[in-house]
């Protein structure tokens, strides 16, 4: 049986500030190497509800406050309702850098303007103002076993780079993506990094997050296949020597010991 996944990319013209395309390339390549066809659907102001419903994986990238303000009305009025229902029904996705702020209840910008979000994730974000330092630097967090894929190498860490002024605080309806070992994470206070809701992941890690975290890319691909075809589809182990070398180099550089668990 031939498999195909459609990846929906939120506003690539406005939300691709930090090399976010790298995440799309990783998903495309890891599918292609396994014989899975992919289609990239740019979600923009012209995207219809019918097109939205064909999406199997959502992706959202980074943007500055100005870009978020431009798209927020279209996102909440026209894309939000169907997107929210799809995520509730299990459609997976990954949202990096600034895009998670749009999925929460609201975001208070640096100049005090409130941008109401989609309320998909039970969380709020606010910028403390220019007098407060930004959260900048490498980030490492420990994750739990929910991301294990049978037959694939698994590591219980994620690595990335953060650069954000906003601080995010989680409610009871979501779980953190990981526990911060190095870096600030959501707010620099409670050691949480990102958020998990249903099959969707939010992270403050910038830009190309998936190249150094292949286990997360495979988690998304596996979930998308299962949701679309309504059965568990085994995906093969790839030669990830270079990917894990990049991952482990960051762990070694920052003095964090990792655990590798083949299953």
At residue 71, the pLDDT reads: 78
**CA distances for 168 relative to 65, 66, 99, 161, 194, angstroms:** 15, 18, 12, 16, 8
Residue written as token pair 């509800």? 49
At residue 257, the pLDDT reads: 75
Query: Residue 43: which residues within 8 A CB-CB, separation 6 or more?
Result: 8, 9, 10, 11, 52, 55, 79
To 10 degrees, what angle do helices 214-229 and 21-32 make? Answer: 60
Provide the residue-wise pLDDT of the chain in tens; the chain has 263 residues: 799 999 999 998 888 777 889 999 999 999 999 999 999 999 999 999 999 999 999 999 886 767 777 778 888 889 999 999 999 999 999 999 888 988 999 999 888 888 888 999 999 999 998 888 999 999 999 999 999 998 999 999 999 999 999 999 999 999 999 999 999 999 999 999 999 999 999 999 988 999 999 999 999 999 999 999 999 999 999 999 999 999 999 999 999 876 666 55
Q: Which fold has domain 4-262?
A: Rossmann fold (3.40.50)
Query: Which residues are the active-site residues?
Result: 97, 206
Query: Residue 20: which residues within 8 A CB-CB, separation 6 or more?
Result: 59, 61, 62, 96, 97, 207, 208
At residue 86, the pLDDT reads: 97
Q: What are phi and psi of 83, to 5 degrees?
A: -65, -45
At residue 65, the pLDDT reads: 66
């Amino acid at each position: 049986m031939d498999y195909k996944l459609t990846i929906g990319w939120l506003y690539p013209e406005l939300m691709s500030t930090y090399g976010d395309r790298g995440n799309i390339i990783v998903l495309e390549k890891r599918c292609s190497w396994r014989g899975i066809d992919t289609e990239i659907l740019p979600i923009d102001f012209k995207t219809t509800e019918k097109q939205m419903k064909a999406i199997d994986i959502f992706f959202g990238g980074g943007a500055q406050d100005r870009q978020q303000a431009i798209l927020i009305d279209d996102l909440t009025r026209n894309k939000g309702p169907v997107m929210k229902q799809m995520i509730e029904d299990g459609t997976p996705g990954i949202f990096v850098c600034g895009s998670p702020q749009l999925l929460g209840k609201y975001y208070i910008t640096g100049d005090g303007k409130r941008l109401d979000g989609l309320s998909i994730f039970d969380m709020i974000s606010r910028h403390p103002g220019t007098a407060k330092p930004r959260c900048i630097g490498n980030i490492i967090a420990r994750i739990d076993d929910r991301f294990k894929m049978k037959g694939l190498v698994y590591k219980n860490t994620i690595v990335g780079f953060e650069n954000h002024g906003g601080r995010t605080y989680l409610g009871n309806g979501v779980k953190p993506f990981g526990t911060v070992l190095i870096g600030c994470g959501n707010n620099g206070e409670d050691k949480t990094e990102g958020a998990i809701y249903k099959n969707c992941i939010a992270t403050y890690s910038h830009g190309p997050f998936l190249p150094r975290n292949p286990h997360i890319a495979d988690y998304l691909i596996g979930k998308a296949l299962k949701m679309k075809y309504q059965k568990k589809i085994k995906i093969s182990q790839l030669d990830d020597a270079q990917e894990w070398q990049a991952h482990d180099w960051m762990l070694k550089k920052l003095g964090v010991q990792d655990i590798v668990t083949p299953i």
